[in-house]
Structures are given as C-alpha cells and as structure tokens.
Amino acid sequence: MRIAVVGAGAVGGYIGAHLVRAGRDATFIDGWPAHVEAMREGGLRIAAMEPDGCFAVPVRALHVADVPQLAFEAPFDVAFIAVKSYDTAWATALVLPFLAPQGVLVSAQNSINEDTIAGLAGWSRVLGCSVGLHSAELVAPGHVQRNSLRGDAARIGMKVGEPHGRVTPRAEMVAEMVGLGDSAKVTTNLWGDRWSKLVINAMRNATCAMTGLSSKERDLDEPVRRLSIRLGSQAVRVGRAMGLALEPMSGLDLDLLARAEHDAAAMAAVEAQIAAVNATRNDASRPSMGQDIRKGRRTETGAINGLVARRGAEVGVDAALHGRVDALMRRIERGELRPAREHALGL
C-alpha cells in the first residue's frame, strides 16, 4: 500500500506522520521549499496536548517540482489531498498521473472540494474525510503542533465517507489510516458531515482572522463570540434548506444554533456550549484563516464564508452576513485593512 500526502501542513503532515510512525509507506509532497528541506534533514515533528502524541519521524519529502520522478516508481494506492481549497485542482492534477488504476483520492480539507477532485478524476475515485476536532498549525518547517485534544469514542475526530453514502472496504481502509492519529469512523452521511464542519469553520475562522484574536480570546469576547454564533446560525439554516442532514459538531446543539441569531435564550445556551468546548483547546489554538493572515498568506474565505453566502442565495436563505464577512476578509488579505476587533463590531 503506497500513500501520497499532497500538502504536508497542519492536517496532511499530522495524518502522514502517524502513518509513517505506524510503518506505512507514505510520501509527502509539498510546495514550501523550507518545509521540504526540514523534513528531509530532520524528519517531521508532531507536538500535541497529550504527551503520547508528541514524536518525530523520518519521512520521505518531495517538492512539487520533484513529482515527475515518481513516474519511475510503483503508483500510489491512496492520495490524501490536504492543500488549501483554492489549490485543490492543481494538486489533484499533480498526483493523478501517479495514482494506481483503482487508487483513491481523499479530500482532507476545509470546505467541500470533492466535486473539484471528481471533475478531474471521476466520482468513482473520490472519498471525503471530515476533520472534525483537529485544530493544528504548521508552526515552523518540519514542525506541526496540534492545539486540540484528540477525539474518543464519544467525540469522533475524523469521519471518512463515500459520496454515495455506502460503507465500503476502501472507506474502512482510509478510516483505519486516519484513525492512527485520532478517533475515526466511516460515515454514511458525508455531505451532512461536510456541511456541519463548514458551519464550524464559517463561525470561527474569519472571526479570528479579522480580529487577530486566538480561538480562546474570540470565545471570551462577547461581541465577537456572538458574531460567530450569528454566522453559525445562518450556516445551519442554509445547510438544512439544501436538504442536508447535519451532524452535531464541536459540542454544539445545531437546533439551538439555528435559532440563536433571533432567539436570546438559544443564543445564551449556545454561548454556554462554546464555553465548554473552549476548555479543550490550548492557548495557542488559532484557526487556519487566522494563521494565514498572520503569515501574510491567502485565506480560504471564498471557500468558507463565501460558499455559505452563495449557497444561501441559491436556496433563498438570508446568509448576507457571510457575504459581508467574505468581502471584509478579502480587503484584509489585500492589505487594505489590518486585523482589528472593531471589524467584528460593525457587522
């Protein structure tokens, strides 16, 4: 079984390092030269909140420019696509020629990118992996730090699913792979799981990125916290209007969340649930868009809040707040604005 991990960052690096630690044949492909060189020279280091989750392993790392040499090797059976959503198409096209005829591509990303992968490879070769509880950061070349506790039997960290919803041997195989680093299972509701995770990202990513606050700081700041809940409330209503069966995520009651934008009691109940979840993160926890802004990188705003706004318009649910957040984030990306708590107060 040969495995490729395309994008060796906070998610891909974490999954891949656990594969290598368990003796699996995994090749890491990444576009950041310094990260590739660090992995080649010193391996990949994983830091976690649990002591037994901290380790370092030697890994095989290729820069994207080295990928053509794979033509002289056996093909990959599984390729994890773990790049930013806007890089999905080229990353899929990059690894696809080196995939075995029955090989599968697994999206382990934010947002919903399976359709982009299927447009290049066909739906028969696509699986999705909803990364539910994983908060992590590539803090330095060759060093991934997980900032959230691993899941357990009651709190599933990762869910793997087929687009058609059936349980298959290959889905069980991939779930076993990602289960090396977190609790995992096969889901028969990939699209519901995907949108549920999108709800969480749409609530939390931009509110940290636009304000400069960490995850804990965001949830302790009442106006910013309530903005995040309003975003989540709209995103739940959009998902349900699309006909999706949403799944509980991150300790939140989605029925309460759906009502919270216009119901003070529901708002207060969701705030209490957020406070409980906040205790499972360390002080360094910061969602990916917040990390991107700090590093001067492009964010996934269009694939997160922008996507909710577009789908809301399609199904007739007011998600205009997501559109305003997306527009604000693009101004911050371009350097027209700097992150500031005041941005959240004006939305």
Closest CA to 64 of 27, 15, 100: 27
For residue 92, what are the contacts with CB-CB under 8 A and spacing of at least 6? 81, 105, 116, 117, 120, 121
Domain map (residue ranges) of the chain: 2-188, 193-345
- The whole model's pTM is what? 0.94
pLDDT of res. 37:
98
Distance CA 127, CA 167 (A): 11
Closest CA to 112 of 102, 125, 101, 126: 126
DSSP state of 322: H
Provide the edge-to-edge strand list for the sheet that holds 44-47: 55-57, 44-47, 143-146, 136-140
pLDDT of res. 202:
97
Highest average pLDDT, of 75-89, 131-145, 244-258, comes from 75-89
Closest CA to 132 of 113, 106, 160, 105: 160
pLDDT of res. 148:
85
pLDDT of res. 279:
73
pLDDT of res. 66:
97
Confidence category of residue 154, pLDDT binned at 50, 70, 90: confident
DSSP state of 75: P
Q: What is the pLDDT of residues 196-239, one digit of tens each?
A: 999 999 999 999 999 999 999 999 999 999 999 999 999 999 99
138, 144 in Cβ contact below 8 A? yes
Average pLDDT, the chain: 95
Share of the chain above pLDDT 90, in %: 90
pLDDT (mean) for 133-145: 92
Confidence category of residue 244, pLDDT binned at 50, 70, 90: very high
pLDDT of res. 192:
96
CB burial readout 292-325, b (16+ within 10 A) else e: bbeeeeebbbbbbbbbbbebbeeeebebebbbeb
> What tokens does 75 get?
């093909």
Q: List phi, psi (to 5°) of 84.
A: -60, 150
Distance CA 253, CA 85 (A): 27
Q: Which fold has domain 2-188?
A: Rossmann fold (3.40.50)
Alpha helices in the chain (DSSP H): 12-21, 33-42, 88-95, 114-121, 169-178, 190-211, 215-220, 222-241, 254-260, 264-278, 288-294, 305-315, 320-333, 342-345
Confidence category of residue 161, pLDDT binned at 50, 70, 90: very high
Is the domain 193-345 a CATH 1.10.1040.10 member? yes
pLDDT of res. 147:
86
Coil, strand or helix at 316: coil
Helix (H) or strand (E) holding 47: strand 44-47
DSSP state of 53: G
pLDDT (mean) for 7-36: 97
